[in-house]
């Protein structure tokens, strides 16, 4: 009897990625031929030494940067085949970013920072704004709506950044060392919040971290080393 094997295509697929940077007359190859599949809803931790290409990989996944060659597909969208305008639209609509240094807009209030992704996507109808503001309560900033980011502590700024990254219901959340600029206790609370929000939003998440302890909380651990990806046991 023949055995039928049904393979569902991965939610995210990277194929034969090549990426280099040029510095002066030096070429620095970051990825020569990279393949990677990520399943829907997975939480992937990305480890690797400084300079191994972790941020480069996130920028490729998020459509901020393009590879020299190869394909990046997210769901049914082939990112590498989109025009720049289409890629920007895709990124705004379907990707959420969290960075080490929060990247909040200093001239906007907490509520305005939070709602920005909705505004940019034309999703800021009154009921959508109300639901978004509930997310502020959830990250413990409900009473800080009118504050400016500089009035918030580092942990509070990162909680706002988490809420902002998820407010538009992205398919993919990309976090680049999100606890790297926080003390250990605050970082731990941010991580817990991130895990709760990730489960609740059922979003897919790739997080860069230096901590094996943090990585152990992920579904999968990937180690970038010399342009190659190794899978480690969580
Ligand atoms: N825009 C750029 N131009 C030239 N070199 C770059 C650029 N961005 C990153 N690099 C280099 O590429 C390598 C990988 O960088 P990066 O992805 O930021 O590593 P990681 O996030 O793992 O520390 C590093 O050697 C870095 O200096
Ligand atoms: Mg980096």
User: Residue 127: which H helix or E strand, with range?
Assistant: helix 126-138
Classified as helix, coil or strand, 35 is strand
The secondary structure of 55-74 as a DSSP string is HHHHHHHTTSS--SEEEEEE
- Given a contact cutoff of 8 angstroms between Cβ atoms, the answer to whether 227 and 31 are in contact is yes
User: Which residues touch 1 (CB under 8 Å, ≥6 apart)?
Assistant: none
List pLDDT tens digits, range 161-190: 999 999 999 999 999 999 999 999 999 999
Higher pLDDT, 168 or 5: 168
Query: What is 43-68+83-232's CATH number?
Result: 3.40.50.300
Q: Residue 230 has which token pair?
A: 């190794």
pLDDT at 6 over 90: no
Spacing, Cα 47 to ligand 2 middle (Å): 10
List pLDDT tens digits, range 74-114: 999 999 999 999 999 999 999 999 999 999 999 999 999 99
- pLDDT score for 8: 66
pLDDT at 133 over 90: yes
Is residue 117 packed enough to be buried (19+ CB in 10 Å), middle (13-18) or exposed (0-12)?
buried
Which residue has its alpha carbon closest to ligand 1 atom 6?
A: 21
User: Residue 18: which H helix or E strand, with range?
Assistant: strand 12-23
Spacing, Cα 3 to ligand 2 middle (Å): 44
* Ligand number with the minimum distance to the CA of 60: 1
């Amino acid at each position: 009897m023949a055995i039928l094997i049904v393979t569902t295509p991965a939610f995210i697929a990277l194929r034969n990625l090549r990426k280099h940077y040029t510095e002066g007359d030096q070429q620095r190859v970051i990825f020569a031929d990279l393949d990677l599949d990520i399943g829907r809803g997975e939480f992937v931790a990305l480890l690797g030494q400084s300079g191994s290409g972790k941020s480069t990989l996130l920028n490729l996944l998020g459509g901020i940067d393009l590879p020299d060659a190869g394909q990046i597909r997210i769901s049914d969208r082939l990112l590498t085949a989109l025009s720049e305008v289409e890629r920007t639209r895709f990124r705004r609509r379907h990707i959420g970013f969290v960075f080490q240094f929060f990247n909040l807009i200093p001239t906007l209030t907490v509520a305005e920072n939070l709602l920005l992704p909705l505004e940019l996507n034309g999703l800021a109808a009154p009921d959508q704004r109300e639901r978004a503001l509930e997310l502020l309560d959830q990250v413990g900033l409900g009473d800080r709506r009118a504050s400016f980011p500089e009035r918030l502590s580092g942990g509070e700024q990162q909680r706002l950044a988490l809420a902002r990254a998820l407010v538009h219901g992205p398919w993919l959340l990309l976090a680049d060392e999100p606890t790297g600029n926080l003390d250990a206790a605050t970082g731990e609370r941010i991580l817990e919040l991130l895990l709760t929000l990730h489960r609740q939003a059922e979003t897919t998440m790739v997080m860069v971290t230096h901590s094996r302890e943090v990585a152990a909380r992920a579904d999968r651990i990937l180690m970038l080393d010399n342009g190659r990806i190794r899978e480690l046991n969580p």
